Structure formats: C-alpha cells, structure tokens
Amino acid sequence: MVRPRLIFAGSPRWPREACGTGADGYRIYATYRRTPTGAYLGELKVVRISDDRLVYPFDGAPTIGPFQDASAAREAAMSKGKEVVEEDLRNPE
C-alpha cells in the first residue's frame, strides 16, 4: 500500500506566505476504513497550515461511525472536518 505524502507549510514546496486565512488555512483529509465486521468508519485528519499543527485527531477523539457504506463514512468525516475547522477558527488553541 502506498501512503500519500503530506506537504506541510513552510516546506520549500509550500511557502508560509501561500497559507490561507480562515477556512483556507486548513487541510482536511477525509477517508474511511472498513472494520473486520464489515462496517465502515470515517477517518479524518485536519491540519492547520500556518503552524503545521495537527488539529484532529486528538487524544480521546470519538470514532466517526459505523456506517453501512463507504460514501456515508467519507461524507460524515468531511462534515466533521468542516465542524472542527469552524470550532478552531472560533476558539484557536
């Protein structure tokens, strides 16, 4: 299995000046995984570009799901990602 490479802000390929503000200042990586029982769980990673901070998942983060199909799990993960970004914009660490 080949894992995608993440390019973080401040690297030569992505200068910090190119980081957006507001919701554009985040990267949301939403996908799913299948459990041994056949259910689907949403997988989510949210990164704040300006400081390369992993905002989600955090210790104790709830699982997203289970769902009966992959598209529902992916959509729920994306929805949760947008919610996390909105919350972080309202109350940044």
Enter the tokens of residue 78.
């994306």
Q: Name the pLDDT band for 60 (thresholds 50, 70, 90).
A: very high
- Using DSSP, state whether 63 is helix, strand or coil: coil
Q: Give the domain ranges of the chain.
A: 23-90
Mean pLDDT of 49-68: 93
pTM: 0.76
Q: How far, in Å, CA of 93 to CA of 87, rounded?
A: 10
Q: Name the pLDDT band for 70 (thresholds 50, 70, 90).
A: very high
The amino acid present at 54, given as its one-letter code, is L
Contact by Cβ (8 Å): 88, 56: no
Q: What are the residues whose beta carbons fall under 8 Å from the beta carbon of 19, sequence distance 6 or more?
A: 9, 25, 49, 50
Percent of the chain at pLDDT > 90 equals 70
